């Protein structure tokens, strides 16, 4: 199963390496990873598409949340977000085949960005399944090279990632409930240490 993780991280060198190393050390498979600056200079937004089960997701959320540079982390449900990916593909496009290729591009609403006597560069934005379908249709013409950005996603509605309850805050809330229960029953519990994190 695929899960989409969205995180706000510190916009500084080395953060991407530290996050990706968490996955590689545990041999977890990242389907895609994209990162870029947000509306705040101090923060970048990271979108990770992860293959695995709920256990794998839980482990990676825990590990990422331990990093000081990760300021906010949530898992976005498929119906809760708009997810898009960009594809650039260079095709073998001799003159006698161009009309067919143009027809396919029109169906998928792809844009021709560059044209040479024997090749063309096509741009397409959409959901990953749409890009996969386009690639499947044009592969017989000869793909010379291609580049995909990986998925980037944003939640629907007027709620922003900063306003949402992240993994760390869920743990904190659960811990407070446990402590209240312990106070009522007389049991002892060692509270979790919750780090205060702020954008640097």
Task: Report d(CA 125, CA 65) in Å as an integer.
Answer: 31
Three-state DSSP at 166 gives coil
pLDDT tops 60 at residue 26 = yes
pLDDT band at 168 (very low <50, low <70, confident <90, very high): low
Judge if pTM exceeds 0.85.
no
How many percent of the chain have pLDDT more than 90? 50
Q: Tens of pLDDT along 121-136?
A: 999 999 999 999 999 9
Average pLDDT over residues 16-23: 87
Domains of the chain, CATH where assigned: 2-76 (3.30.70.260), 82-152 (3.30.70.1150)
| The pair of three-digit structure tokens given for residue 171, joined into one six-digit string | 């743990």
Average pLDDT, the chain: 83
pLDDT for res 63: 87
In DSSP terms, 122 is beta-bridged to: 89, 112
Q: Judging by beta carbons within 10 Å of its beta carbon (0-12, 13-18, 19+), is residue 131 exposed, middle or buried? A: buried
């Amino acid at each position: 199963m695929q899960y989409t993780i969205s995180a706000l991280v510190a916009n500084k060198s080395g953060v991407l390496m530290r996050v990706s190393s968490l996955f590689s050390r545990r041999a977890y498979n990242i389907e895609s990873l994209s990162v870029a600056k947000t509306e705040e200079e101090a923060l970048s937004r990271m979108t990770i598409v992860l293959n695995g089960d709920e256990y794998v997701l839980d482990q990676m959320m825990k590990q990422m949340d331990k990093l000081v540079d990760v300021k906010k982390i949530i898992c976005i449900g498929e119906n809760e977000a708009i997810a898009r990916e960009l594809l650039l593909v260079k095709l073998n496009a001799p003159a006698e085949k161009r009309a067919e290729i143009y027809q396919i591009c029109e169906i998928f609403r792809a844009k021709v960005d560059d044209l040479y006597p024997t090749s063309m560069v096509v741009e397409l934005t959409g959901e990953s399944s749409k890009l996969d379908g386009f690639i499947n249709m044009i592969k017989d013409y000869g793909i010379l090279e291609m580049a995909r950005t990986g998925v980037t996603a944003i939640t629907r509605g007027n709620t922003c990632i900063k306003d949402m309850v992240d993994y760390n805050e869920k743990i904190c809330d659960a811990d407070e409930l446990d402590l209240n229960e312990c106070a009522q029953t007389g049991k002892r519990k060692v509270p979790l240490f919750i780090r205060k994190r702020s954008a640097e």
